[in-house]
A and B are shown apart, each in its own frame.
Chain A
């Protein structure tokens, strides 16, 4: 009887319309989400505890698998004949930009997962949740980087953020972690609402949420009253500003960075920021390039404020996590300088900076996670005194990573700053370049203070203490240091990758894709 029913249904003459999906283009996201659900299922179904470290290993393998899946995508989008393509009814764009950002985000996942492993065991919190949350968060980040539609970008942002709220509040025995979680959540939700309202206004002004259609509409139409679009852009900028911790929307960052579990912070500072900037570039540089004369001055002010806040306020801090929180604000300002240029060189510089920065900052927070003590405490500057004696190799690696953040030559951080400065000067923003370099000097003082604590403790060093270095955390440190130093000597490879990672605007190009709304845009 079932068979006959099946027969009857199969013979149904009307096929159901469905959106054509280029599954290969979505493979990295699929692997991340599927892997996260799989880990979650295994964790709840397997009665016995798995060997410690197996979740971390699984996470690293999943991220690596997603990278492998992204390699053919890169080859395809770089291929002159095939090129970038849009899929999911033009809502997702697979181009050099999105694949590059995917690689960076996945690297951040790997580094943070390696850092999580030993940290979780020290805190006796062994479980799959942080890994699952991070994988989901990463999938949101990848979605943001490849969003070709503002709604998809909003969804990516929320998938990214909601998981991170939990990651921040994860340490149940530590009140500051909860506090960080609540603060991050309330302000994050607040900024998401602004972001969404911005999308609504832009939708009202242009008649679409699709980036391609917005761009086409804006270049074809001279708006008599662009108030709606401009207000929408401003609100979007508020939302992005919160996510990337740009002043004046930065104030949550120091508190959250200090309170949240350190490996979560490694992810927040690297992956979340990359995704935020990827989204920012896509929306502003691509879709609203016709409005650049309107938004460039705003970004200019934001960049100056962000760099100043990030460098000056860092000087007075005494907690290393807070110091690095402010320094990451300073880095965000630098990337905004590249965004402000609004040129291909600017995008290249921003991507190079994000890639280099991810390894520096994830490595740095990895060190902090190792040096802190049980209960995730011991992150004040005093706790670093004598580190060069207790753990000379870790101290030296940390010093190199900090110098890289300061932009000392022969490290990736130097080239990152160099490319940003070059892009800014080429775009005629020499003032911004000068301000940027001055703030770089101010914030280098912060890094030097940490180095002084490690190396210049003098005669009144505290009693020696043993600092265990878990193998996974050591591996993360080796990876981030290797990348930082080798890119510092031979930046050409990464620079040319970043150069080829151009974001593009093309309507859905895979054959058979269905345009769901035949409605022409415009009120």
Chain B
């Protein structure tokens, strides 16, 4: 059975497309790793790394092969998975998802190199690989069902990673993480199914005109034959054409269910919501949007659903925190872009004010709470809440520039916060504490570590010339046009970020080290090797973000016009004149 299946899959070119490979390769790696006998501990690491690096290389090849002119989905693969329900293995990436795929591609091998597990390497690496496959799958999925499966499947490996290799309070953190996120996505499943039925109703409604045309044509034919109603014409050709007409009507009135993202998003044709002329029931769609939004809001996390995040981040092993902050939080923000703005534009516009408000609350709340943290890892975790608030503000400010900023910020936050968690993990490995008050004067004992920390921290603060600035600047510039006062408040968040990070840095690295901190080892070459690519990216994207922006902008512009076409929203004119699109790069240079 399996060989025939494989033959069938390869005949359909499913296996040979790069996106399928990038999704499946890590899963395959997980299986291979779990088949290696327990005793060969060193093999687990090597094999897992090979698969993770291979996946990373695949994603980089996607980056190289990406056509920057094309604003649509590229590298598409679309094959039937479950035909009865119109579910297909539909993958594809555009400028928005491209960099998130790349991020998942290279952050995983880095996390694997950076920290070796204290025990049980086999399941550890297997779970990490499953996680990688799932994350890439979420970013590539263009089918609601595939998306949901991937979105949900990432819970399991992260749960086991926290549970198996986490710190003291890991059981509580793992349970909380799983229950929170599962609760969110449970309702999303209902939303997805409801949406497909809604879409089918819309399709039937839209088909009515064509059905009427066919019926009148058939009536003409019948009349020309001198027949009335149910009589069967003598001429077999005409009988056949009438039967074909019946069949077409049947098909038009009973369309199959469809889970395809693109089809559903593009089929919402008429959008005059005031007259209710749309065949698509927007009232129901708003409820469905709420179901989606809940799942994403938990994942992002948006205030007040964020409480799982500090626990999970703090208790997770270092690699887990890196992936959690670097990649998994983006599942939520990416979901808002792709399955909010793109899939359900009208409800997104409708709920945008509420979401922007929550995002800005998150910026301020995250910053204030981060200031008060005693635990270095918890501080970084709360800083994520603030940064993710920026991204939400950018997305739901609904201008090309702000959304672009949000997408850029997703990638940049992955790099800088991932790097921060790696550094905190290094400190913890040496000192076995993350308590800020018991760390002191590390700059003396570990100067290189301190220097790297400084750079990463400045990037996280958003210092011009480093990558963090680009995204935040674009978000603020873009949002100012539509959400002036929110933007002003959010800008205060930037100042707060500087405050809590610099203060923490000062307490940990400055001063005279006491006995315990005096002989802390500096970064070794392996750790340097892990940090080097991240540092290069931090500087390079800060100085010259143009290649990245060039690839993101067409997709975002297309998204915004999609939203405009499908709702009563129109982007303010100033935003489209190109103010600031290239500016930060020039400023930074």
Contact = CB atoms under 8 A, between A and B. Distances in A.
Given A441-B179, A495-B82, A499-B84, A456 B163 contact: yes
Interface string B1-35: 00001000000000000000000000000000000
B193 A444 contact: no
A287 B149 CA distance: 38
A438 interface: yes
B156 A437 contact: no
A440 interface: yes
Nearest to A454: B163
B153 A445 contact: no
B171 to A, nearest CB: 5
B183 A441 contact: yes
A452 B159 CA distance: 10
Contacts of B174: 448, 452, 456
B182 A456 contact: no
A408 B84 contact: no
Interface in B79-126: 81-85
B163 A425 contact: no
A425 B84 CA distance: 16
A422 B175 CA distance: 28
B155 interface: yes
A120 interface: no
Interface in A489-519: 490-492, 495-496, 499
Contact of A425 (B150, B155, B193): B193
B148 interface: yes
A425 B160 CA distance: 33
Contact of B153 (A406, A410, A417, A451): A410
Given A425-B197, A434-B190, A452-B163, A495 B84 contact: yes
B164 A456 contact: yes
A495 B81 CA distance: 12
Interface in B180-216: 182-183, 186-187, 189-190, 193-194, 197
A34 interface: no
B178 interface: yes
A438 B193 contact: no
B551 interface: no
Nearest to B85: A422
A499 B171 CA distance: 42
A455 B164 contact: yes
Interface string A455-469: 110100000000000
Interface string B347-375: 00000000000000000000000000000
A403 interface: yes
Interface residues of B, number: 32
Contacts, number: 82
Nearest to B162: A456
Nearest to A437: B186
Interface string A411-424: 00010011001100
B186 A448 contact: no
B413 interface: no
Nearest to A428: B197
B246 interface: no
A426 to B, nearest CB: 6
Contacts of B83: 492
A430 interface: yes
Contacts of B152: 408-409, 414
Nearest to B155: A408
Nearest to B122: A392
A149 B8 CA distance: 46
A455 B84 contact: no
Contacts of B175: 445, 448-449, 452
Interface in B379-421: none
Interface string A29-54: 00000000000000000000000000
Nearest to B179: A445
Interface string B140-157: 000000001110110110
A249 B372 CA distance: 53
Nearest to B5: A490
B153 A408 contact: yes
B36 to A, nearest CB: 14
Contacts of B197: 425-426
A409 B85 CA distance: 16
Q: Is the interface of A mostly helix, strand, loop or mixed?
A: helix
Given A403-B156, A409-B149, A495-B84, A441 B194 contact: no
A433 B195 CA distance: 13
B193 A422 contact: yes
Nearest to B152: A409
Interface in B311-347: none
B183 A433 contact: no
Given A409-B149, A441-B182, A456-B171, A492 B190 contact: no
Nearest to A445: B179
Nearest to B148: A409
A495 to B, nearest CB: 6
B84 A430 contact: no
Most buried by B among A409, A430, A449: A409
B194 A425 contact: yes
A284 B160 CA distance: 43
B245 to A, nearest CB: 26
B45 interface: no
Contacts of B84: 492, 495-496, 499
Contacts of A499: 84
B294 to A, nearest CB: 11
Interface string A477-497: 000000000000011100110
Contacts of A426: 197
B378 interface: no
Contacts of B159: 448
Contacts of A408: 152-153, 155-156
Contact of B182 (A430, A444, A491): A444
Given A491-B82, A495-B84, A410 B149 contact: yes
A481 to B, nearest CB: 14
A452 B190 contact: no
A409 B150 CA distance: 8
B320 to A, nearest CB: 14
B190 A433 contact: yes
B82 A437 contact: no
Contacts of B163: 451-452, 455-456
A492 B86 CA distance: 11
B189 A418 contact: yes
Given A456-B163, A499-B84, A425 B179 contact: no
Contacts of A492: 81-84
B164 A421 contact: no
A452 B179 contact: no
B434 interface: no
Contacts of B186: 437-438, 440-441
Contacts of B85: 422
B44 interface: no
Nearest to B153: A409
B170 interface: yes
Contact of A430 (B81, B148, B156, B190): B190
Contacts of A456: 163-164, 170-171, 174
Nearest to A423: B193
22 contacts: A403-B156, A406-B182, A408-B155, A409-B149, A409-B152, A414-B152, A417-B189, A422-B193, A430-B194, A437-B186, A438-B187, A441-B179, A441-B182, A444-B182, A445-B179, A448-B159, A448-B174, A452-B171, A456-B171, A490-B5, A492-B83, A495-B84
Given A434-B190, A449-B175, A490-B5, 14 more contacts: A403-B156, A406-B182, A408-B153, A410-B153, A414-B149, A422-B85, A425-B190, A433-B193, A433-B194, A438-B186, A440-B186, A444-B179, A451-B163, A456-B164
The 3 residue pairs across chains A and B that have the minimum distance between CB atoms = A437-B186, A409-B149, A456-B171
Interface of A: 403, 406, 408-410, 414, 417-418, 421-422, 425-426, 430, 433-434, 437-438, 440-441, 444-445, 448-449, 451-452, 455-456, 458, 490-492, 495-496, 499
